[in-house]
Amino acid sequence: MTASIAMEHGGTRRMVRGRRKRIGYLLSAICILLALVMILPLLAAVLASIKPAAEAAAIPPTYLPHGLSADSYVNLWAYQAGLPTYLFNSFATAFLSIALTLLIAVPAGYSLARFDLPGKEVIFVFLLLALIIPYQALLTPIFLQFASWRLTNSLLGLAIIHTAIQLPFSVYVMRNSFESVPRDLEEAAVIDGCNSLQVLLMVSLPITLPAVVTISLFAFITSWNEFLGALVMMNRQDSFTLPLILAAARTQTSLGGTDWGMLQAGVVVSVLPCIAIYLFLQKYYVSGLLSGAVK
């Protein structure tokens, strides 16, 4: 009696285990399918960019390249003012954004975390103002101001806008990070004869390095990818950033139609730095995203 119940029990358990295994396989298959669907568009862009010019313009399009060619990259290299100009504009703006972000957010975050300033919380909320007013709405007055300051068509002007977009996040992350540095460490440094700036630069900043990496990374990605601000501020073609010149290339014709191969070569070039950063600095990226969204 007891034995038969036990046997029955073992039977259902085996059945349950079998069913669970099958569901497990099914779910794994769905996972792989999902990953394929997500990666295919990017793969298609890469493949389109290495097709010979004639094939890239083919109607209907081919799935896999019949021949390999650097035509599209050569065309992109020489397009309008030339790819080096646009790459320089994009990189320079991004690095100026990082520099501005660090110069402003690091001391501000440190001050908010360490000093008991009267009205500190009011100042903090003021610094988060850009969270409340979307920058898309502010572009008209910023453009007017920049026009009179000769900051339109200027990489510095664009970097200022990109810094302003990310500043609430950057200040917030730096403040949190400095708050987690033990005060004893700083006090010990003061006793050793460090002044306030030395304490910040030589004791606290190295400990908050992950936060510094995070805000630099987000400053770069925001600036590299930003479109509307650049569209408004940059109207001379040699001051265009990469997304702007590619958007212009989508309608400008080379041989009577859009040069699809060149356009996708442009997509590949502008995607590469983002993917590289994501792959190498994934930890910082994800932690920044989580802390930024959960505030």
Partner 1 sequence: MIALAYLAPAILFVSAFTFWPFVQMIWVSFHSWSLITPPKPVGFGNFIKAWSDRQFWISLGYTLKYTALITPILMVGGYLIALLTAENTSLKRAVRAVVFLPVVIGLGTSSLLWYWLFSTDAGLVNRVLLDLGIIGQRVIWLGVNEGVSTWAIIASIAWKVIGFGMLLFVAAIQSIPKDINEATMVDGASYWQRTAFITLPLTLRTVLLVTLISMIGSLLAFDQFYIMTAGQPQNSTATSVFYVYLNSFPYLKLGYGAALSLILAAIVLAFTLLQMMLTRRSAG
Nearest to 217 by CA among 172, 130, 294, 284: 284
Q: How far is the CB of 254 from partner 1 (least distance, A)?
A: 13
How many H-runs (helices) and E-runs (strands) does the chain carry?
16, 0
* Burial degree of 40 (CB within 10 A; 0-12, 13-18, 19+): exposed
Q: How far is the CB of 171 from partner 1 (least distance, A)?
A: 6
Q: Closer CB to partner 1, residue 116 or residue 184?
A: 116
Q: How far is the CB of 190 from partner 1 (least distance, A)?
A: 12
Give the SS3 label for residue 145: helix
**Which phi and psi angles does 288 have, rounded to 5°?**
-65, -45
Q: How far is the CB of 192 from partner 1 (least distance, A)?
A: 18
Q: How far is the CB of 176 from partner 1 (least distance, A)?
A: 11
Q: Closer CB to partner 1, residue 1 or residue 195?
A: 195
Q: Closer CB to partner 1, residue 95 or residue 143?
A: 143
* Cβ atoms of residues 266 and 76 within 8 Å: yes
Q: Closer CB to partner 1, residue 7 or residue 132?
A: 132
Q: Closer CB to partner 1, residue 7 or residue 133?
A: 133
Distance CA(173)–CA(290), nearest Å, equals 11
Distance CA(59)–CA(24), nearest Å, equals 42
